Amino acid sequence: MTRQSFKRILLKLSGEALMGSNPFGIDPQTVADLAAEVKSAKEQGLELCLVIGGGNIFRGMAGAAKGMDRAQADYMGMLATVMNALAMQNALEQIGVETRVQSAIKMDQVCEPVIRRRAERHLAKGRVVIFAAGVGSPYFTTDTGAALRAAEMKCDALFKGTSVDGVYDSDPKTTVGAKRYETIGFDRVLGDDLRVMDASAVALCRDNDIPIVVFNIRQSGNLARVLAGEGTATIVQNEE
Ligand code: UDP
């Protein structure tokens, strides 16, 4: 399947994509810019699910490293993802994109719980569905949440927006001459520990044959370009 033939995709953004140039938190202008990217992706006729991390606000591992109980800290991290989801919902609706937020932790006053069949209806009606709170359990990440939702919503691909334009054989930020892969197999990513996403997320995508498209979300207009099969990205997929 080519990038152009995808009908339904899940877009995973790390929480840090929402910070802009700030060291933490939510920068409204950055969220507005991302929302505009999502809108133009939708205008290509795609059905869009969205998962946003929480690392711009709180990560459980960071809390645990400072002596907090890991599970307690992870629940705080999950709540951070709900804040990011609401910020993105606000930005999308301000530019006329209908959205629904579904959280893996129930909070009826704020958003819907995750209900797959209802999410299907939202997508059929042209709404963007933002899945929040990861898988709803501590000791997981939103990468795994994204892979899980991509599988249950039968997405054609998982688009992982990061600060680099693909998967490299070594860290391009520190290694001169690092080589970017056009495509790479799931097993290679896991075997070489290339850290595209968490191992559990990569394994879930491998087992359900969901390609992961890794691209740079920080370049303006890149999401639409990559979806159109242009621009720079790496596709992680099952190899023959
Ligand atoms: N988290 C969790 N279970 C999940 C998803 C997230 O416990 O299913 C917590 C975990 O503490 C994590 C934090 O929420 O560090 C924020 O998510 P993540 O680190 O995946 O955000 P990102 O790195 O994508 O911004």
- Measured from the Cα of 60, ligand 1's closest atom is 11
CB of 60 shorter than 6 A to ligand 1? yes
Nearest ligand 1 atom to the CA of 145 is 8
The per-residue pLDDT for 5 is 81
Q: What is the pLDDT of residues 78-122, one digit of tens each?
A: 999 999 999 999 999 999 999 999 999 999 999 999 999 999 999
Residue with CA nearest ligand 1 atom 6: 141
**Termini Cα distance of the chain:** 14
Q: Are 82 and 109 in contact (CB under 8 A)?
A: no
C-alpha 85 to ligand 1 mean position (Å): 13
DSSP 49-69: EEEE--TTT--HHHHHHTT--
Q: State both tokens at 66.
A: 């400072």
Residue 114 has a pLDDT of 98
Q: Is the CB of 53 under 6 A from ligand 1?
A: yes
Sign of the C-alpha dihedral, residues 111, 114, 120, 126?
A: positive
Structural domains counted in the chain: 1
Does some domain include residue 38? yes
Q: Which range (37-41, 50-54, 133-137, 208-212) has the least confidence?
A: 37-41
Residue 196 falls within a domain, yes or no?
yes
pLDDT at 4: 61
User: Hey, which of 142, 144, 149, 163 would you mutate to test ligand 1's pocket, going by the most ligand atoms within 8 Å of its Cβ?
Assistant: 142
Residue 214 lies in a domain: yes
pLDDT number for residue 134: 98
Domain-embedded: residue 184: yes
Question: What CATH number does residue 14 fall under?
Answer: 3.40.1160.10
Residue 3: pLDDT band by 50, 70, 90 thresholds? low
60 CA → ligand 1 middle, Å: 7
Let me know if residue 3 belongs to a domain.
no
What is the mean pLDDT of the segment spanning 225-229? 87
Residues 176 and 148: their CA atoms lie apart, in Å, by 35
Q: Kindly state whether residue 2 falls inside one of the protein's structural domains.
A: no
Band of residue 2 on the pLDDT scale cut at 50, 70, 90:
low
Instruction: Identify whether the C-beta of residue 202 lies closer than 8 Å to the C-beta of residue 222.
Output: no
The answer on pLDDT for 50 being more than 60 is yes
- Tens of pLDDT, residue by residue over 121-132, are 999 999 999 999
Q: Which of 141, 195, 196, 200 has most ligand 1 atoms within 8 Å of its beta carbon, as the pocket-test mutant?
A: 141
Considering the domain boundaries, does residue 1 fall inside one?
no
Measured distance CA(81)–CA(140) in Å, rounded:
13
Find the domain containing 87 and state its range.
8-237
